[in-house]
Amino acid sequence: EAGVAQSPRYKIIEKRQSVAFWCNPISGHATLYWYQQILGQGPKLLIQFQNNGVVDDSQLPKDRFSAERLKGVDSTLKIQPAKLEDSAVYLCASSPYHTDTQYFGPGTRLTVL
Amino acid sequence: AQSVTQLDSQVPVFEEAPVELRCNYSSSVSVYLFWYVQYPNQGLQLLLKYLSGSTLVESINGFEAEFNKSQTSFHLRKPSVHISDTAEYFCAVSDGGSNYKLTFGKGTLLTVNP
């Protein structure tokens, strides 16, 4: 069984530029999560999808971050415009419907200069 | 609101020594508790979890954790560590609601030295 795929693995941009990350969850997993992991901290949930609907986006900075999961499969997280404090690893995770275990991808390391 | 405190940011130990990684949580409701491990340049992997039942849970690679409700703790232990156990370990809590939303601690870097 293929794991959660994320791309790109690394991205370096300048502040005020835009960037997008892509995630393909494990086949059949209804729930998809995006986390932000700043150096020295644990992952923080940004947004949770159930199929193509948003379940929780309470910690998503909506003035600059957006995410979509149009067909209930893969997902894109966008930052526009980026700030220095957005430098972090962005993790995608998925899980089958209504289960407790999340499966994580390798993450995308974003550096904002 | 839930929170997780991992009391040690770094724990260096020698190979074959015992180790304990500490985790305390706060929550106003019943919780599910998890330990995830992150090996260098890899994503997080579930190590073990407590949902209900026996308060002592074990992983396939020799780690165990005990849920202590009175002390709101879920410490991770291993009686004898290997070099390959070097990784960052994250404790996480979920309220078990329909969203299974996880709140993570800041992580503990376990370094096993020869």
Hey, are the CB atoms on B107 and A41 less than 8 Å from each other?
A: yes
pLDDT tens profile A49-86? 998 899 999 999 999 999 999 888 999 999 999 999 99
- Mean pLDDT estimate for chain A: 93
pLDDT class of A11 with cuts at 50, 70, 90: very high
Residue B27 has pLDDT above 90, yes or no: no
pLDDT class of B1 with cuts at 50, 70, 90: confident
The residue written with tokens 């404790």 in the block is: B91
Within 10 angstroms of residue B96's Cβ, the number of other Cβ atoms is: 16
Instruction: Check CB contact of B4 with chain A, cutoff 8 Å.
Output: yes
In angstroms, the separation between the Cα of residue A42 and the nearest Cα of chain B is 4
Measured between beta carbons, which residues in chain B are less than 8 angstroms from residue A21?
none
Total length of chain B = 114
Q: Which among B63, B67, B53, B57 is positioned nearest to B23, based on CA atoms?
A: B67
In angstroms, the separation between the Cα of residue B109 and the nearest Cα of chain A is 10
pLDDT at B41: 81
Q: How far, in Å, CA of B102 to CA of B2, rounded?
A: 9
The predicted model gives B33-61 an average pLDDT of 90
Q: Which two tokens stand for residue B21?
A: 């990684």
Residue B18 has pLDDT above 80, yes or no: yes
Give me the residue from B41, B51, B105 closest to A100, CB to CB.
B51
The predicted model gives B75-81 an average pLDDT of 97
Torsion of CA A49, B72, B75, B67, to 10 degrees: -80
pLDDT at A1: 67
Within 10 angstroms of residue A99's Cβ, the number of other Cβ atoms is: 11
pLDDT at B98: 60
Residue A104 has pLDDT above 90, yes or no: yes
Backbone angles phi, psi at A32, to 5 degrees: -130, 135
Q: Which among B104, B113, B114 is positioned nearest to B37, based on CA atoms?
A: B104
A16 φψ region: left (φ > 0), alpha (ψ -120 to 50), beta (else):
left
The predicted model gives B31-52 an average pLDDT of 91
Residue B99 has pLDDT above 90, yes or no: no
Please list, in sequence order, all residues whose beta carbon lies within 8 angstroms of the beta carbon of residue A36, skipping any fewer than 6 positions away: A43, A44, A46, A88, A89, A90, A91
Continuous H helices in B1-114: none
Within 10 angstroms of residue B36's Cβ, the number of other Cβ atoms is: 26
- B/e letters for A31-65, b = 16+ CB within 10 Å, e = fewer, are bbbbbbbeeeebbbbbbbbbeeeebebeebeeeeb
